[in-house]
């Protein structure tokens, strides 16, 4: 960033110059896998209550037929598709993320970019470039602001997701650098998301990324019409950094810009729970497998982990909703031990009220550990001490959950997850969506949209 340019202007200039040919093939490949993953969790999300409410509401509004709202047969305005699909994609809490920023860029960027690309009649190659750039700004800004931003009670996906959505839509709209800067500014002004939703009202948590996706579409359409936001909106005295964080590492913002694409650092979720639970779930499953323990053999579990995991998911109260169970270390670990997995179909009322799972959950504790505290966010780990009813004690350290770049999910893992999440849909349709996405750079977004409108709720 030059002394004459603001942060938003520097990003805007880069986004307007970026070309698909400059993105390494391995980053493009990962972008396709992340799109597959998000569409898979969206298909599963269609079964859940809050997405159903949102789809019913948005489909009743009608309006200009521009883009596909998952779970609805007719097109809706792009801004409505972005909102609805963002909500649906986050309902399962199984979307990808970035641990250094505590953020889920994809659930705001992909719904916005798909909606805008369909409205613009763009091809898959244009979508993939826009998506990759959208991830870049969300992850870079969130890394600079966290953990302070998160600790203060902000839901980073809601507060910063709109920046990525605006960047992606701005690239698809072929904005000039001044318009792009305005779009980023307008999106920053709309950033919102409070983590009280983890404590109560967790059903509506997906509203945050949905609104962020919607803000991206709105910001670009307003910038195209001449709306101009404050160019210093990120770093100024009353801007994003000062308002929403106590400590910011702005010096990291542009490291490797254009050479290293932060989308490459995304993790994939293989459990349908808050990411901070995954190391503990991986740990209990590994111990049970290695020592041939059954659910009935476990007397107690002690989980030592890092502060954000305890503050987000360390509640001692027994959850009374499926959404609440997703943010309970004790309940999710007990569920993992009971079923042998933490799949999307486990978070249902009949499981939440299971007395056997509740019984073990009451004997699972979570606490802070100095070592994991110091290692965070480079590692987001947990130490598990599992005591059997026979008196045997088993200890395991899990520095990083499966799915992180250093402990990656394979292409086969991601495709298997997609197919599992799409169960109940017509098999030929599921395979057609998968095949198209694996070679998305050779297809149009309209082709994907035609398939997505065939899904049922």
In a domain, 407, yes or no: no
Q: What residues make up the domain containing 77?
A: 7-270+423-452
pLDDT, average across residues 71-89: 97
pLDDT at 198: 86
244 and 336 in one domain? no
85 pLDDT higher than 90 = yes
Cα–Cα dist 200/205, whole Å: 10
Q: Residue 283: give its domain's CATH number.
A: 3.30.1330.120
Please give the tally of structural domains in the chain: 2
Answer with the one of 382, 398, 414 that is the final residue of a domain: 398
pLDDT, average across residues 258-282: 95
366 and 258 in one domain? no
pLDDT at 379: 94
| Contacts for 226 with CB less than 8 Å, ≥ 6 apart | none
pLDDT at 1: 61
231 and 327 in one domain? no
In a domain, 280, yes or no: yes
Mean pLDDT of the chain: 95
For 90-133, the pLDDT digits (tens) are 999 999 999 999 999 999 999 999 999 999 999 999 999 999 99
346 and 288 in one domain? yes
260 and 280 in one domain? no
For 285-312, the pLDDT digits (tens) are 999 999 999 999 999 999 999 999 999 8
78 pLDDT higher than 80 = yes
pLDDT at 321: 85
In a domain, 254, yes or no: yes
169 and 64 in one domain? yes
pLDDT at 200: 85
In a domain, 180, yes or no: yes
Q: Residue 189: give its domain's CATH number.
A: 1.10.4100.10
447 and 377 in one domain? no
350 and 260 in one domain? no
437 and 336 in one domain? no
In a domain, 411, yes or no: no
In a domain, 28, yes or no: yes
In a domain, 418, yes or no: no
84 and 60 in one domain? yes
221 and 135 in one domain? yes
| pLDDT bracket for residue 2 (50, 70, 90) | low
In a domain, 408, yes or no: no
Which of 41-55, 108-122, 194-208, 276-290 shows the lowest mean pLDDT across its residues?
194-208
| pLDDT bracket for residue 346 (50, 70, 90) | confident
266 and 169 in one domain? yes
Q: How far is CA 159 from CA 153, 193, 241, in A?
A: 11, 6, 11
């Amino acid at each position: 960033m030059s002394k004459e340019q603001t942060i938003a202007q520097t990003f805007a200039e880069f986004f307007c110059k970026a070309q698909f040919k400059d993105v390494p093939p391995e980053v493009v490949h990962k972008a396709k896998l992340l799109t597959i993953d998000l569409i898979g969790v969206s298909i599963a999300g269609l079964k859940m209550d809050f997405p159903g409410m949102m789809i019913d509401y948005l489909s009743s509004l009608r309006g200009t037929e521009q883009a596909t709202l998952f779970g609805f047969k007719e097109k809706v305005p792009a801004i409505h598709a972005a909102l609805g699909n963002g909500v649906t994609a986050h309902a399962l809490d199984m979307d990808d993320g970035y641990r250094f920023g505590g953020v889920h860029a994809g659930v705001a960027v992909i719904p916005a970019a798909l909606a805008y690309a369909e409205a613009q009649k763009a091809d898959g190659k244009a979508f993939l470039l826009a998506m990759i750039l959208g991830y870049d700004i969300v992850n870079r800004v969130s890394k600079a602001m966290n953990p302070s931003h998160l600790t203060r009670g902000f839901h980073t996906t809601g507060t910063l997701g709109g920046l990525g959505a605006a960047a992606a839509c701005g690239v698809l709209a072929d904005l000039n650098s001044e318009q792009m800067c305005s779009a980023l500014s307008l999106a920053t002004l709309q950033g919102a998301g409070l983590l009280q939703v983890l404590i109560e009202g967790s059903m509506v948590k997906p509203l945050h990324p949905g609104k962020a996706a919607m803000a991206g579409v709105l910001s670009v359409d307003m910038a195209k019409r001449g709306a101009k936001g404050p160019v210093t909106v990120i770093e100024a005295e009353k801007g994003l950094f000062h308002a929403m964080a106590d400590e910011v590492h702005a010096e990291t913002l542009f490291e490797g810009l254009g050479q290293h694409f932060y989308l490459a650092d995304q993790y994939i979720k293989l459990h349908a729970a808050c990411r901070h639970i995954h190391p503990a779930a991986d740990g209990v499953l590994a111990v049970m497998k290695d020592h041939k323990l059954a659910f009935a053999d476990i007397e107690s579990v002690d989980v030592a982990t890092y502060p954000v995991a305890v503050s987000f998911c360390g509640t001692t109260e027994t959850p009374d909703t499926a959404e609440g169970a997703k943010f309970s270390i004790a309940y999710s670990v007990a569920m993992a031990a009971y079923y042998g997995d933490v799949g999307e179909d486990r978070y249902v009322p009949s499981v939440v009220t299971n007395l056997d799972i509740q019984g073990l959950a009451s004997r699972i504790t979570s606490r802070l550990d100095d070592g994991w505290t110091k290692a965070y966010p480079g590692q987001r780990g947990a130490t598990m001490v599992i005591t059997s009813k026979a008196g045997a004690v088993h200890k395991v350290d899990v520095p990083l959950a499966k799915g992180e770049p250093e402990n990656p999910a394979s292409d086969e893992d991601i495709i298997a997850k997609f197919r599992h999440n799409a169960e109940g849909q017509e098999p030929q349709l599921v395979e057609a969506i998968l095949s198209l996405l694996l070679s998305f750079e050779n297809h149009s977004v309209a082709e994907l949209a035609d398939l997505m409108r065939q899904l049922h709720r």
